[in-house]
């Protein structure tokens, strides 16, 4: 008589044999059906949808690592063009600051979707937000587009649809190209439209200095192959210095309008660390300008070992310093300066002698531009621009020319007088009175420039950066140093007309010849 264990073992063997037979028969049947029936008939027989009919999805995230995802930006711009005619129950409308009502843009809200049709295929754009809600100062909330489509259109989506979107957005950007002004806020760039109409033609600037800057910019743009061949970062640095009211900010706007570059106005006081500074740098677009205004006031210029909490200083003082000089230098010409290409870096200051020499060495600030006081040639351009006064149309012009040789006046002061009336003769008379009073020392307010220059003047930096000597005739003084361009990269350009004093020469625009 067989034991219970033997019977259980026998049943187990029989079950294994039966299962093997079923699996083998199923494999033979599958092979036969696959050889005889097409895929669609097989799917219908098994009541399954065809592989080509299954929905596919593409996820497009806002960031690609630390960089903005260009596909996401293009998708955002493209989807906004679909929303006007789409039956989306909830959308977001925005108007750029300073823009007209015709430039209202629509955007999707997270959790909504819109359908697009391309070559007869329906494609659905959905938007979601990840990271929990936006917090002030936080960057944990990121938007994600989800593009869904029929699986049989996969090749069309990647081969035609997405490239067509990229090309259309690029064409839209070129047609509607308007420079933007970015400011940093809580570790992110916030854009507004840059509506400054300043150009090189309207600047109250010495003609030779203007042409030197324009030639340098054009030369920079046309030397991509040179930078690649020499292994240099495709960037250019300008130090613009001079008294207040001499046109430093207007020159930055003129450079932006000439190149059609966006301007990133970096407030170092709002940057919490060197790490955040690097993050802001790599999130800049190519073909852009990075502006640091009044750099002498924005940078801690103490010893580097102190900034690092070494023997010369405590770690507490290091932590209180948001951005160190070392961090700024790495941004200017360290490894992080190569994170983008076709970039212009501009520092402005009223006190060039206060800057640390490490900021001024060759390879960092390639061209120094001194914006000086007003000269007669620049005044004639202002008078022509504001009131159409050309040639020797006004009898006071010879007197104004003589006064400008003796009096220091900023272009902004003269422009203010020219704007006070629509009468050309009256405006020129007001300028002449300003110069006479300045010469005689009878100005009621003591002068715009003198007040500005003496406001908030603290301890002077022990090091100085002398200005180049000017020729006796008052011509343009140019001191060159070898840099990226070899023979004429680093340039110090100023106008040599004016009084010599302190550590440099005060320029006068297009003053006496």
DSSP alpha helices (H): ranges in 37-86? 39-45, 70-82
DSSP conformational letter for 348: E
- The answer to whether residue 24 scores a pLDDT higher than 70 is yes
pLDDT digits (tens, 9 = 90+) for 372-431: 998 888 888 888 888 888 767 788 888 988 999 998 999 989 988 888 988 888 888 999
Range in 26-40, 181-195, 246-260, 349-363 the model is least confident about: 26-40
Give which of 353, 348, 372, 402 is closest to 512, Cα–Cα: 402
| Contact yes or no for 265/181 (Cβ under 8 A) | yes
- The answer to whether residue 158 scores a pLDDT higher than 50 is yes
pLDDT digits (tens, 9 = 90+) for 322-352: 777 777 777 777 666 666 778 899 999 998 8
pLDDT band at 162 (very low <50, low <70, confident <90, very high): very high
Of residues 464 and 43, which shows the higher confidence score? 43
Question: φ, ψ for residue 239 (rounded to 5)?
Answer: -110, 115
- Indicate the average pLDDT of the chain: 74
- The answer to whether residue 316 scores a pLDDT higher than 60 is no
Q: What integer pLDDT is reported at residue 175 of this predicted model?
A: 64
Q: What integer pLDDT is reported at residue 1 of this predicted model?
A: 54
pLDDT band at 321 (very low <50, low <70, confident <90, very high): low
Highest mean pLDDT among 19-28, 42-51, 275-284: 275-284
Q: How far apart are CA 310 and CA 329, in angstroms?
A: 19
Q: What integer pLDDT is reported at residue 240 of this predicted model?
A: 94
Q: What integer pLDDT is reported at residue 498 of this predicted model?
A: 35
Of residues 470 and 22, which shows the higher confidence score? 22
Q: Does domain 182-301+323-370 have CATH number 3.40.50.620?
A: no
Of residues 512 and 295, which shows the higher confidence score? 295
pLDDT band at 317 (very low <50, low <70, confident <90, very high): very low
Q: What integer pLDDT is reported at residue 148 of this predicted model?
A: 94
| Tokens encoding 171 | 């064409």
Q: What integer pLDDT is reported at residue 36 of this predicted model?
A: 61
Give which of 281, 189, 286, 183 is closest to 234, Cα–Cα: 286
| Contact yes or no for 156/119 (Cβ under 8 A) | yes
Q: What integer pLDDT is reported at residue 215 of this predicted model?
A: 94
Q: In angstroms, how far is CA 181 from the centroid of its own chain? A: 7
Helix, coil or strand: residue 125: strand
The residues, ordered by sequence, that sit 6+ positions from 448 with a Cβ below 8 Å of its Cβ are 244, 245, 410, 412, 413, 416
Residue 454: HSE in the Cβ half-sphere, 13 Å Cα cutoff? 6
Q: What integer pLDDT is reported at residue 26 of this predicted model?
A: 78
Q: What integer pLDDT is reported at residue 297 of this predicted model?
A: 81
Of residues 440 and 465, which shows the higher confidence score? 440
Residue in the structure block whose two tokens are 């200005």: 467
Dihedral Cα 423, 424, 427, 429, nearest 10 deg: -110
The residues, ordered by sequence, that sit 6+ positions from 29 with a Cβ below 8 Å of its Cβ are none
- The answer to whether residue 497 scores a pLDDT higher than 90 is no
Q: What integer pLDDT is reported at residue 489 of this predicted model?
A: 36
Task: Tell me what the mean pLDDT of segment 428-438 comes to.
Answer: 90
Max CA pair span of the chain:
139
Of residues 421 and 498, which shows the higher confidence score? 421
Residue 425: HSE in the Cβ half-sphere, 13 Å Cα cutoff? 1
The residues, ordered by sequence, that sit 6+ positions from 452 with a Cβ below 8 Å of its Cβ are 243, 244, 245
Question: φ, ψ for residue 350 (rounded to 5)?
Answer: -95, -15
Dihedral Cα 164, 173, 97, 199, nearest 10 deg: 180
Q: What integer pLDDT is reported at residue 442 of this predicted model?
A: 80
Query: Where are the chain's structural domains?
Result: 10-43, 55-131+140-176, 182-301+323-370, 376-444
Other Cβ atoms closer than 10 A to 232: 16
Range in 96-105, 157-166, 177-186, 237-246 the model is least confident about: 96-105
| Tokens encoding 164 | 């067509």
pLDDT digits (tens, 9 = 90+) for 63-107: 887 778 889 989 988 988 888 777 766 677 776 655 555 567 778
pLDDT band at 274 (very low <50, low <70, confident <90, very high): confident
Q: What percent of the chain has pLDDT over 90?
A: 19
């Amino acid at each position: 008589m067989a034991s219970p264990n033997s019977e259980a073992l026998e049943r187990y063997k029989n079950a294994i044999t039966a299962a093997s037979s079923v699996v083998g028969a199923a494999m033979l049947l599958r092979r036969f059906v696959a050889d005889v029936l097409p895929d669609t008939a097989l799917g219908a027989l098994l009541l399954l949808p065809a592989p080509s009919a299954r929905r596919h999805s593409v996820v497009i995230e806002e960031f690609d690592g630390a960089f903005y995802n260009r596909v996401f930006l293009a998708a955002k711009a493209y989807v906004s063009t679909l929303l006007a005619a789409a039956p989306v129950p909830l959308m977001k409308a925005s108007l750029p600051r300073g823009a007209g009502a015709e430039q209202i843009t629509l955007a999707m809200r997270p959790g909504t979707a819109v359908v697009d049709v391309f070559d007869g295929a329906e494609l659905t754009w959905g938007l979601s937000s990840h990271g929990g809600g936006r917090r002030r100062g936080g960057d944990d909330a990121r938007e994600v587009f989800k593009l869904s489509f029929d699986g049989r259109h996969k090749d069309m989506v990647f081969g035609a649809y997405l490239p067509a979107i990229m090309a259309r957005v690029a064409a839209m950007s070129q047609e509607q190209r308007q420079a933007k002004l970015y400011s940093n806020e809580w570790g992110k760039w916030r854009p507004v439209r840059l509506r400054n109409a300043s150009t090189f033609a309207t600047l109250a600037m010495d003609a030779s200095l203007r042409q030197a800057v324009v030639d340098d910019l054009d030369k920079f743009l046309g030397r991509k192959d040179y930078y690649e061949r020499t292994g240099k970062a495709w960037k250019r640095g300008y130090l613009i210095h001079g008294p207040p009211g001499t046109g430093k900010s207007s020159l930055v706007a003129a450079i932006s309008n000439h190149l059609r570059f966006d301007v990133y106005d970096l407030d170092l006081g709002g940057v919490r660390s060197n790490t955040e500074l690097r993050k802001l740098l790599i999130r800049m677009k190519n073909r852009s300008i990075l502006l640091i205004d009044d750099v002498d006031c924005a940078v801690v210029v103490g010893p580097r070992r102190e900034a690092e909490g070494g023997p010369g200083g405590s770690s507490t003082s290091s932590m209180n310093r948001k951005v160190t000089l070392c961090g700024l230098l790495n941004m200017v010409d360290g490894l992080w300066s190569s994170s983008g290409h076709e970039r212009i870096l501009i520092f402005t200051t009223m006190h060039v002698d206060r800057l640390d020499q490490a900021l001024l060495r060759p390879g960092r600030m390639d061209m120094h531009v001194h914006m000086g006081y007003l000269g007669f040639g620049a005044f004639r351009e202002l008078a022509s621009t504001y009131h159409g006064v050309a040639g020797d149309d006004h009898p006071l012009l010879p007197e104004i020319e003589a006064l400008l040789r003796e009096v220091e006046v900023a272009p902004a002061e003269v422009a203010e007088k020219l704007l006070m009336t629509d009468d050309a003769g009256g405006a020129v008379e007001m300028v002449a009175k300003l110069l006479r009073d300045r010469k005689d020392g009878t100005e009621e307010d003591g002068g715009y420039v003198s007040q500005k220059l003496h406001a908030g003047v603290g301890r002077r930096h022990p090091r100085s950066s002398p200005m180049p000597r000017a020729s006796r005739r008052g011509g343009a003084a140019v001191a060159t140093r070898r840099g990226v361009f070899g023979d004429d990269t680093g340039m110090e350009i100023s106008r040599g007309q004016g009084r010599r004093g302190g550590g440099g020469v005060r320029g006068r625009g297009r003053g006496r010849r």
